[in-house]
Amino acid sequence: MTAKPSSSPATVGSLVDHHLLSTVGVAPAAASHADVMHAVAQVARESLSRRWVEGDAHDRKQRARRVYYLSMEFLIGRTLGNALAALDLEAGAAAAAQQHATRLEDLATEEKDAALGNGGLGRLAACFLDSMATVGLPSMGYGIRYEFGMFAQSIQGGRQIEHPDPWVEDGTPWEFPRSALSYPVRFGGWVEQAEGPDAPPAWRHAGEVAAKAYDMVVPGHGTERVSTLRLWKAMAPSQIDLHAFNSGDYARAAEYKNEFENISWVLYPNDSTPAGRELRLRQEYFFTSASIQDILARHLDEHGTLANLADRVAIHLNDTHPAIGVAELMRLLVDEHRMAWGAAWALTGRVFSYTNHTLMPEALETWPVALMQQVLPRHLQIIFRINHDFLADAARRKPGDDGFLRRLSLIDESGERRVRMAHLAVVGSHKVNGVSALHSDLLVQTIFADFALLWPDRFTNMTNGVTPRRWLAQANPGLAALLDQRIGRGWRLRLDELARLRPLATDAAFRTEFLAVKRANKARLAAHIRTSTGIEVDPDSLFDVQVKRIHEYKRQLLNVLHVISRYQAMLAAPDADWVPRTVVFAGKAASSYAMAKNIIRLIHDVGSVVNHDARLRGRLKVAFIPNYGVSVAEVIMPGADLSEQISTAGTEASGTGNMKLAMNGALTIGTDDGANIEIRQQVGDDNIFIFGLKTPEVAALKNGGYQPLRVCEQNPVLKAVLDAIAGGVFSAEEPARYRGLVDSLLWGGDHYLLLADFDSYVQAQARVDALYRDRHAWAAKAIANVAGMGLFSSDRTILEYAREVWNIDPQR
């Protein structure tokens, strides 16, 4: 393809200088890296804006059926590199960078991450936006424009410290404020009964906030299409402001402003405490209401009627955070647009679909009825009516079975009455999906079993995926170039083409090149480890990587137990031929999650001992990379040899880090959980290290009376490890520091079965060592992993949603 005039290096260079002068306001010769980055971003912004306007006009003219993806979280990361690749401006931007005596890679690091999400769920939403734009799906994302994203993590004395993340403080080149676009969102008050038989009840709200639209542009790859992420910012309605100001009461005016505007201030770092819960409910309703009002306004603008809403609109609920939308759409249709209840309910069920992302009971959202009565009284009333009609229907299915109805009810009556948001989402949707084959099966066997009896066809599976543009092409330019050489460039848009690598696994020359790329990526990761932690690691050692949120069910602690057993074994035989290993951890702990924070501290304490023990001669290192996020992940994924996916079977809904790591040529050591199972099917049993109890065995062991103490007594290696931790070997200045942690395993029930899986895990790690001794044998399997990743493109996932859930045709 010949470069379009606007993308030729000379043109890009002069556009950059133009923007330095006219947008950034500096002389090109005096521009800093950050200045040049902003100017390059402005060049990309202009092109994207043009594509945007054209695509939008096209969709309007077509009156296309669209999907609206509602999500509390979008973990976007940086945009510059992705935008330049999508616009085919990389060469031009690189040349412009060179003119300013720098490299594009160094410019890119000047951009802050947009970290408007916690972890897997939010990153999945960001990959989906990329894929929706790329496959040409008429679509839009909706979320919240948090002023503060995910907290930044630093480590002091081995402990996590949280810092606020004012990511948008200095503005971002990627957003377009839509100052004219704003909707009122109301809270509180009471409901007055209907005046006449045809009149709806009147919600006399107590407060109102304006939702203002800020659009972020999402470029598609290999297409002119772009998609939109519309984020809402809360603003106090201007009349309230004015009133207080005019009466001279500035303090009161500021108070009002805060009371409303705090809604979009900060992303909730999901944790277990109920503090600040009311604000979270307000956030959920705020963005859901604004989004649905916007969707209805657009639909009315294009069609002039709501009667055909379900023919043109699909709304997807990313987890239950926007599930209040089911009641909100009913309210808008019935109260504001005067539609009959029955007709409105029929539309609602056809419009919504819902994805569940976790089976963890602590993470399933419920809201106290009393709180909902206070914050959203009309919605509570609507939920009660939906529940009444639904239970009447269900009762016909199993007459007299009160337990059945109690389990199905949208209201949990077992203690303080609570609204079950997952039940509202299931009842209000025509499709409900899990995020891996196993997870989707478990949904219908466990938390949604009663619903599956009523509506077996409602439940389906959509296995997660990741965008190969960011996670392979952008993160791993070395491997991307090697792939381009051997199988062409088409894999970016058709990841299945990676399968053409399969025969190359036995090609010695290719293995050598593949290993050289990996070695260079490990050197880059080692440099990042050095600058971020001060720890020196050997790029020729096996890089063993576990990166994800810190949570007990993900079992970072099991990994630590293995590290300690290796340490002890090495001390017992220091001259044996040990395979050198660098064990890398990264991840944030929720701020109120004490056990997770304690695990971070233990990792550091173990590292301090192991990394300085001269007897090991550098053959074992432990590094915790701070502030894990999208950009840090882009450095880690390409440099990993081994991918740790070791959750207790049945607990990790899917995982997506597992896909990113395998795509970058890491071998997985993992349990039979989430998408690990599908990865195994794609790469073959010989190319993955599976260990541990399987889901039914986990259930059986728990039912049969699991005794962790017995497991410990019977395994001297495990006992020595636990004794060392509990005895203060890694916390000499405070020997009792980890006694509680060890007690929770031995005496507290070991809820996630670390001890039960320990032996099997250590054996699997020994198989890892054995294979790594033969670099070519290892490379063959790593290549087989890359070759098997075609299925895990988020393009595939999105096309499945489009066909089976949303019923929308992509328009490439």
Residues with active-site annotation = 357, 548-549, 554, 656, 660
Using alpha carbons, select from 717, 708, 724 the residue that is nearest to residue 762. 717
The nearest distance, CB 595 to ligand 26V, in angstroms, is 11
**Largest interatomic CA distance in the chain:** 90
Please give the C-alpha separations between residue 549 and each of 66, 71, 78, 355, 582, in angstroms, as whole numbers.
Answer: 33, 19, 20, 20, 20
Residue 345, SS3 per DSSP = helix
The nearest distance, CB 375 to ligand 26V, in angstroms, is 21
The residue whose two tokens read 């600040």 is 276
Residue 142, SS3 per DSSP = strand
Nearer to ligand 26V, 128 or 706 (CB): 128
Give the footprint of ligand 26V on this chain (CB under 6 A): 119-121, 124, 270, 272, 357-358, 360, 362-363, 435, 464, 652-656, 674
Concatenating the DSSP letter of every residue in 453-508 gives: HH-GGGEEE----B-HIIIIIIT-HHHHHHHHHHH-SGGGT-GGGGGGGGGGGG-H
**Residue 556 near residue 599, CB atoms below 8 Å:** yes
Using alpha carbons, select from 356, 268, 359, 349 the residue that is nearest to residue 320. 356
Using alpha carbons, select from 244, 377, 383, 367 the residue that is nearest to residue 326. 383
| Residue number with the smallest Cβ distance to ligand 26V | 120
Nearer to ligand 26V, 79 or 654 (CB): 654
The Cβ-side half-sphere exposure at 744, using a 13 Å CA radius, reads: 14
Using alpha carbons, select from 140, 128, 457 the residue that is nearest to residue 313. 140
The nearest distance, CB 355 to ligand 26V, in angstroms, is 7
Alpha-carbon distance 384 to 411, whole Å? Answer: 8
The nearest distance, CB 75 to ligand 26V, in angstroms, is 10
Concatenating the DSSP letter of every residue in 732-794 gives: TTSTTTTHHHHHHHHTS--TT-HHHHHHHHHHHHHHHHHHHTSHHHHHHHHHHHHHGGGGGBH
Alpha-carbon distance 564 to 713, whole Å? Answer: 18
Nearer to ligand 26V, 656 or 671 (CB): 656
Structure tokens at 152: 């930044």
Nearer to ligand 26V, 184 or 276 (CB): 276
Nearer to ligand 26V, 151 or 730 (CB): 151
The nearest distance, CB 29 to ligand 26V, in angstroms, is 47
Nearer to ligand 26V, 356 or 533 (CB): 356
Nearer to ligand 26V, 109 or 272 (CB): 272
The nearest distance, CB 357 to ligand 26V, in angstroms, is 4
Nearer to ligand 26V, 43 or 435 (CB): 435
Other C-beta atoms lying within 10 Å of the C-beta of residue 416: 11
Q: What is the DSSP letter of 2?
A: P
Nearer to ligand 26V, 537 or 653 (CB): 653
The nearest distance, CB 318 to ligand 26V, in angstroms, is 9
Nearer to ligand 26V, 98 or 272 (CB): 272
Nearer to ligand 26V, 363 or 709 (CB): 363
**Sign of the alpha-carbon torsion through 334, 340, 345, 351:** negative
The nearest distance, CB 757 to ligand 26V, in angstroms, is 18
Using alpha carbons, select from 89, 112, 109, 101 the residue that is nearest to residue 40. 89
Using alpha carbons, select from 577, 579, 482, 521 the residue that is nearest to residue 783. 482
- For residue 775, count CB atoms less than 10 angstroms from its CB and return exposed for 0-12, middle for 13-18, buried for 19 or more: middle
Chain Cα centroid distance, residue 65? 26
Structure tokens at 626: 């701070």
DSSP H helical segments within 100-192, as ranges? 104-108, 120-135
**Residue 425 near residue 320, CB atoms below 8 Å:** yes
The nearest distance, CB 76 to ligand 26V, in angstroms, is 15
Structure tokens at 768: 């890892």
The nearest distance, CB 563 to ligand 26V, in angstroms, is 24
**Residue 717 near residue 565, CB atoms below 8 Å:** yes
Alpha-carbon distance 744 to 759, whole Å? Answer: 19
The nearest distance, CB 604 to ligand 26V, in angstroms, is 23
